[in-house]
Structure 1
């Protein structure tokens, strides 16, 4: 399809509707033996073990498990003592971020760099958007229904900004012969200096497999662990939800967790991430039960018992499981779920049985304030793509816009973050966007923000 022309400035919601119609401890310091020669304090034994493994990405799980055994003060001190370029620092940094702790310095940008020198100077808050932005989305075909709210959320963020904005052009990755790769090549040839997309996981993988890219990309999915140098990856991934859920359970003292899961691929991925993160912290999954099992007692009576439940199922399935969990004696243990819990809900009189279950969500969809973006109810009233399940993707699109504008700040500042519609956003040392979600729970059958949900 032909690229959309530059978008003029006028009220964002009106413009969005038009666009939709047209598009269809302390820190250990160095000791000195002389006035000029610093001597590194001995590493903690666990850190020394992790350092010996850090040269091979295949050792990531073992490294994370070693660092997970450190208390906060020791982890922070050991991370600060690592030299510039130490291959262990990215692991230590990500461990600090997962605990909600600050980085002692920015991630070492040895392989991953972000150059915004071609952009006009940054504003005082770090706002520095590109000059010409290309958005690669499947605007036609089977994925167009998912792409529409992403597109509209991005435009909402765009029109909610009153400062300098880039020219934006949309490219249909489905309607272009050659798919996302051809759409990328076309957008690069037409002078765009930054791109958002593509959306499909396979598309992102194919693009990233090219290696070095002429124009940097914020991909809207994950494909492997590390994007090519200079590029970034943003995703509402089930793995992130599993890790966040494990963090909340650990903070609540859970060590033995029973999992109730469905057969959906995203649910399985969330369970795997939860299990791995628990294992890194010395906790365990005692069993994985299907939601359809009539009696959970054998799982509850397992040696060592169960002190928490994780649910990777839809809300309507969870409602059916709650009485059986109560009969098994698990009604009073902490219960945490994935965002799937919201699916199949909406009737308070039926959903009261879900009261007290914590699940990750987005500040915007939980009624929170997001700068430059009208409340969810207001937007959904006028825009179909922001309703129901589309609201989460709308928030995702909005945050994709924020990331394009604050990428340099996030890449170069040690504790930089942006408060987005999907949560607090940061970038690790490899170009992956790390998202801290907002936690919610059911109260009286209605989803409400969860106070004091922890730092994860």
Structure 2
């Protein structure tokens, strides 16, 4: 499973535990057999449930175990459900019992994020499955589709879902419909295009709909026209019920799009280099748009001066119907504090205040968002304890706090927090973080009171599922070797985009091997595109440390025409070069990709293996 698909895997795990529903339709009980008496809720403790089951006759034990396993799944106890089901012998079951056992076992395995085992289960019982009615087979096909998606095989998962859809009941069709759309939104652009070439029937209809909906460069008028053509071509397609909402939102977005955009960026003052990178990104997206449609008129204003409100008013007087900027946080706050604003405004930073004007929006590259995404990833992998290591200072404190708050809101525990300074003391900080000295002292103390040979090899603490490391490349090159030296080479280390310079330096970055990090697609993907070719022709040397701001400029330009769509259609997303963009409380939220350092090179994260132990530790393997 790739990290960039981890969000989908988490959704799938939650859905299959909850009974295959991403919404809240009337719940369908998996195990229903008229002759099976209700045995009530299972004991709270798994050991007590197994003891009671051991005293029952075979048929009663099977019926009770199936009912209790389903109850445990409802309580998000996939591991306990698996234990009860593993105690049963499917060979002595009736057909209905065996169907329920297969379905519940698969749900439990996926709930515990073990897709390979679920696929193996379905394969081993294929002869039994073929004997069931079509609707039952289709429900097990959905289980297979969930497992394939969790492994990252999105195209095969789509094929299974689309084939099974006509055979499902209403509730399962609702679930399947939602999951098909989730998969289509997750599928990389190149895979989506390849899948269209090799598809037909309903699957081709789904894929072409997703492609035209997701196109971030397409002119809105052209997109509306193409969607109407799709509706005419696919009148009986299962997705036709979605099209009216999408079409309505696109038509309104086309009507609401700006014709004159004022762009407030600093060309003087301390932020002028950042402003220049943003402007070049904006103009690159503008010229790309000009090849496909009719872009708005752009007018740039220097926001480096002190009087931002006068500049803002001047832009409005000049006829702007959309304002992009400013970049500085204090200047964005000054505009937001005006209350009602005359035109929609997208600030290029985030401000810390409530009660924003209804047409004031925010977009930026906040490291706090990256920290929160890392916390969510750790929770999806099943970790419950984490450590934090961050540089001294207000900035490090703020980002570490964002991680800690998100992690604790997900039920995680912070076992250790340390700050560090670059230099000769950093190794001692890492050693203290890992409690290596204490483990050695305890071993030596015990050895004094026994004649037995004692292993007093120092060890690191074992109460961290992973370490959240906040560090730039130079700091990371000191921290990771220190972790390796102090017996923590196997400790997963997750970091923000700060640790990735964006420049290839294999000799120096060998010291970062194994560190996983979030970063924008622009910094990790080598996907060939017209936009990438235009950029490399114009700026073959790149933008150095301002490369991410250049990419932000590309997405900032795209957002001026898509902001209405994101703010009015809850499920709407924009596949941007800075991440998958969505809207939350007037704030653009980015979901980033994952990378890992392998042999000194930063790569988009390859396959991740799951040993299947209780801690669900992961091991990165190069492809």
Give TM-score scaled by structure 2 length: 0.51
Greater helix share, structure number: 2
**Cα 1:231/1:368, change in 2 over 3 Å:** farther
Matches within 5 A, 1:370-385: 372-375=530-533, 379-380=535-536, 382-383=538-539
Give the counterpart of 1:299 among 433, 451, 455: 433
C-alpha deviation, 1:121, in angstroms: 6.0
**Cα 1:356/1:277, change in 2 over 3 Å:** same
What secondary structure does 1:287 align onto? strand
Residue in 2 that maps onto 1:218: 346
Residue in 1 that maps onto 2:410: 281
Q: Deviations over 1:268-287 (max 9, x none)?
A: 32211111011101212222
Q: Deviations over 1:142-181 (max 9, x none)?
A: 1101110101101111111121111100011124xx5321
**Cα 1:367/1:30, change in 2 over 3 Å:** closer
Residue in 2 that maps onto 1:337: 495
What secondary structure does 2:499 align onto? helix
C-alpha deviation, 1:380, in angstroms: 4.8
Residue in 1 that maps onto 2:298: 168
Give the counterpart of 1:416 among 558, 564, 572: 572
Q: Deviations over 1:75-131 (max 9, x none)?
A: xxxxxxxxxxxxxxxxxxxxxxxxx899xxxxxxxxxxxxxxxx9968427473410
Q: Is contact 1:198-1:220 (8 Å) kept?
A: yes
Residue in 1 that maps onto 2:376: 247
Give TM-score scaled by structure 1 length: 0.69
Runs (5+) with no aligned partner, structure 1? 1-24, 32-68, 74-99, 103-118
Residue in 2 that maps onto 1:228: 357
Residue in 2 that maps onto 1:191: 319
Give the counterpart of 2:267 among 139, 145, 158: 139
Once residues 122 and 241 of structure 1 are traced to their aligned partners in structure 2, the CA distance between those partners, rounded to angstroms, is: 34
Once residues 71 and 419 of structure 1 are traced to their aligned partners in structure 2, the CA distance between those partners, rounded to angstroms, is: 35
Q: Is contact 1:370-1:421 (8 Å) kept?
A: no
Aligned pair 1:397/2:527, yes or no? Answer: no
Aligned pair 1:312/2:508, yes or no? Answer: no
C-alpha deviation, 1:373, in angstroms: 1.4
C-alpha deviation, 1:29, in angstroms: 4.6
**Cα 1:204/1:440, change in 2 over 3 Å:** same
Once residues 288 and 306 of structure 1 are traced to their aligned partners in structure 2, the CA distance between those partners, rounded to angstroms, is: 13
Residue in 1 that maps onto 2:591: 436
Once residues 470 and 222 of structure 2 are traced to their aligned partners in structure 1, the CA distance between those partners, rounded to angstroms, is: 42
Runs (5+) with no aligned partner, structure 2? 1-17, 28-74, 79-106, 108-181, 185-218, 228-249, 439-460, 610-623
Once residues 314 and 120 of structure 1 are traced to their aligned partners in structure 2, the CA distance between those partners, rounded to angstroms, is: 40
What secondary structure does 2:544 align onto? coil
What CA RMSD, in Å, does the superposition of the two structures yield over aligned residues? 3.2
Q: Is contact 2:308-2:331 (8 Å) kept?
A: yes
Tell me which moved more, 382-391 or 416-425. Answer: 382-391
Residue in 2 that maps onto 1:110: none
**Cα 1:284/1:101, change in 2 over 3 Å:** farther
Give the counterpart of 1:350 among 498, 508, 513: 508
| Bigger relative contact order, structure 1 or 2 (CA pairs below 8 A, ≥6 apart) | 1
C-alpha deviation, 1:343, in angstroms: 3.6
Q: Deviations over 1:424-456 (max 9, x none)?
A: 10112x2110110111111111111113689xx
Aligned pair 1:327/2:501, yes or no? Answer: no
Aligned pair 1:263/2:396, yes or no? Answer: no
* Corresponding residue pairs, total: 348
**Cα 1:381/1:329, change in 2 over 3 Å:** farther
What secondary structure does 2:531 align onto? coil
C-alpha deviation, 1:334, in angstroms: 1.1
Aligned pair 1:387/2:543, yes or no? Answer: yes
Q: Deviations over 1:226-258 (max 9, x none)?
A: 542122100100110110111122223332222
What secondary structure does 2:427 align onto? coil
Structure possessing the higher radius of gyration over alpha carbons: 2
Once residues 165 and 263 of structure 1 are traced to their aligned partners in structure 2, the CA distance between those partners, rounded to angstroms, is: 46
Residue in 2 that maps onto 1:450: 605
